[in-house]
Amino acid sequence: MLGISQAMTNTTVIIGLTGNIATGKSVVRRMLANSGALGIDADDISHRMLYQGAPAYQPVIDAFGDQILSSQGEISRGKLGKIVFNDEQKLITLENLIHPWVTKAIEKRIQKTTAPLVVVEAIKLFESNLIELCDSIWVSHASEGHQIKRLQQTRNMSRTQAMERISAQHPQSEKVAGADVVISTEGSFKNTWESVQNALNSLNDTIQVDNLFLSQNINNSKSWHVGSARQLGNKKWINEWKALTHFTTQELYQHLGTQMILPLFQNKQYISLILWENWDFTASMSAVFPYLMMEEISSTVFDAFHNHAQYNQSEILLLPDRFIASRDINPQISGYTKQLIAELSYPSWREAAKKQSQQDQTEIWAKVIAQPIETEEHLP
């Protein structure tokens, strides 16, 4: 399927990713991001359109009334959800207020990216005009039994609740019929990763992603470079990564579907592996291997993390205290400041900081590197 993206971006190929609930869409998106794509979750963008200062904020209040507001003047997704999900017409009204702005924000992010590949995850891809942006349509697939099991394990649903959620959606067969690529997620994370890589290889006439990060050096150093997670298909690199992290092979593939993995090498030798959480355009460093960073490489690790997060259009970098406490490093040298979580200026930044902090933690090391696109200021 050829869309309008090539005319819009000249060099960027856009994958539209969809699939029913609990079929592994987000895992596939993260694996594509670990393969060099810019990952965009349309659902995250939709939530951002309800924040104060977003272009849909006041129109949604005008349509549904002040009763949807919290005591802080924020739109409560819970209150709004109770209204729209019991009334199909009101849901359509809400989508008509939000979705045009979602498309506009996604288009702007695509125009800003330097990535040769973008993946847009959207559960209602076929029902929206987002499909017009896409060059290739990918669908994640899992049997109903797998869907039920996942909903029970990850969302604490009963079997009856899970079946109700599944039956409320259009049959998977409808999405599969419109797909260019179908990724089964019923097997192991390794199986899913290999399916994603095989599908990417079929795009090689259009896009070269194999060595996406390999040409990028750090701090203009000829010896330090950023590696590519696609090298995990090479047994030599698997063994080196396992030696660095002490992960099992399956754990490595699981991380490729749940976090961002950033390998660093010096003079063609891998010496460090960075794991970071990529959630709603926030970047939180979660682990660096070897576990204790040597003083002479700590600044290189921070610079590589910054560059990789910036490539993925992250807006803020976060360093949880549990990460800093075990290392003799000073984040201030790399531009981080200790900030109150409650005073971070953007709602999704606060949510991400709370997710990454310890239960009673009120402060976090943070570094703002970009402002959100989804505001009236940036989406006139």
Domains observed in the chain: 5-201 (3.40.50.300), 217-368 (3.40.630)
Q: Cα separation of 45 and 331, whole Å?
A: 30
Q: Is 307 exposed, middle or buried (0-12, 13-18, 19+ CB in 10 A)?
A: middle
How many degrees, rounded to 5, is the angle at CA 23 between CA 312 and CA 169?
110
pLDDT tens for 67-87 read 999 999 999 999 999 999 889
Over residues 94-123, mean pLDDT: 95
Complete DSSP assignment for 201-217: HTTTTT---TTTTTT-E
**Token output for 241:** 């990564």
Over residues 277-289, mean pLDDT: 93
Q: Look at residue 202 in the predicted model and tell me its pLDDT.
A: 85
Q: Are 31 and 16 in contact (CB under 8 A)?
A: no
pLDDT reading at 243 higher than 60: yes
pLDDT tens for 27-70 read 999 999 999 899 999 999 999 999 999 999 999 999 999 999 99
Contacts of 243 (CB under 8 A, 6+ apart): none
pLDDT tens for 247-269 read 999 999 999 999 999 888 777 77
Q: What percent of the chain has pLDDT over 70?
A: 88
From residue 15, alpha-carbon distances to 72, 114, 253 in Å are 38, 15, 22
Element (H, E) at 141: strand 136-141
pLDDT reading at 5 higher than 50: no
Higher per-residue pLDDT: 190 or 239: 190
Element (H, E) at 182: strand 181-184
Contacts of 314 (CB under 8 A, 6+ apart): 278, 281, 282, 283, 369, 370
Q: Look at residue 219 in the predicted model and tell me its pLDDT.
A: 57
Q: Look at residue 327 in the predicted model and tell me its pLDDT.
A: 66
Q: Look at residue 272 in the predicted model and tell me its pLDDT.
A: 83
Nearest to residue 278, comparing CAs of 9, 21, 26? 26
pLDDT reading at 2 higher than 80: no
Count of Cβ atoms closer than 10 Å to residue 8 Cβ: 13
pLDDT tens for 199-209 read 998 876 666 55
Crossing angle of helices 88-112/77-84, nearest 10°?
130
Q: Are 36 and 117 in contact (CB under 8 A)?
A: yes
Q: Look at residue 4 in the predicted model and tell me its pLDDT.
A: 37
From residue 186, alpha-carbon distances to 24, 147, 191, 239, 291 in Å are 9, 9, 9, 26, 32
Mean pLDDT, the chain, rounded, equals 88
Q: Look at residue 291 in the predicted model and tell me its pLDDT.
A: 61
pLDDT tens for 88-97 read 999 999 999 9
Would you place residue 289 in the very low, low, confident or very high pLDDT band (cuts 50, 70, 90)? confident
Count of Cβ atoms closer than 10 Å to residue 251 Cβ: 13
Q: Look at residue 206 in the predicted model and tell me its pLDDT.
A: 60
**Token output for 310:** 């910036």
Q: Look at residue 7 in the predicted model and tell me its pLDDT.
A: 37
Would you place residue 114 in the very low, low, confident or very high pLDDT band (cuts 50, 70, 90)? confident
Q: Look at residue 9 in the predicted model and tell me its pLDDT.
A: 44
Residue 26 region by backbone torsions, left for phi larger than 0, else alpha for psi between -120 and 50, else beta: alpha
pLDDT reading at 123 higher than 60: yes
Higher per-residue pLDDT: 225 or 349: 349
Query: Would you say how long the chain is, in residues?
Result: 380
Q: Look at residue 1 in the predicted model and tell me its pLDDT.
A: 43
pLDDT reading at 215 higher than 60: no
Complete DSSP assignment for 330-357: -GGGGT-EEEEGGG-SSHHHHHHHHHHS
Does a cis peptide bond (omega within 30 degrees of 0) precede residue 290? yes
Spell out the alpha helix ranges (H) of the chain: 5-9, 25-33, 42-48, 57-64, 77-84, 88-112, 144-154, 159-167, 172-177, 189-201, 235-245, 249-258, 295-311, 321-325, 347-356
Q: What percent of the chain has pLDDT over 90?
A: 66
Would you place residue 294 in the very low, low, confident or very high pLDDT band (cuts 50, 70, 90)? low
**DSSP β-ladder status, 13-18 and 117-121:** parallel
Q: Look at residue 3 in the predicted model and tell me its pLDDT.
A: 40
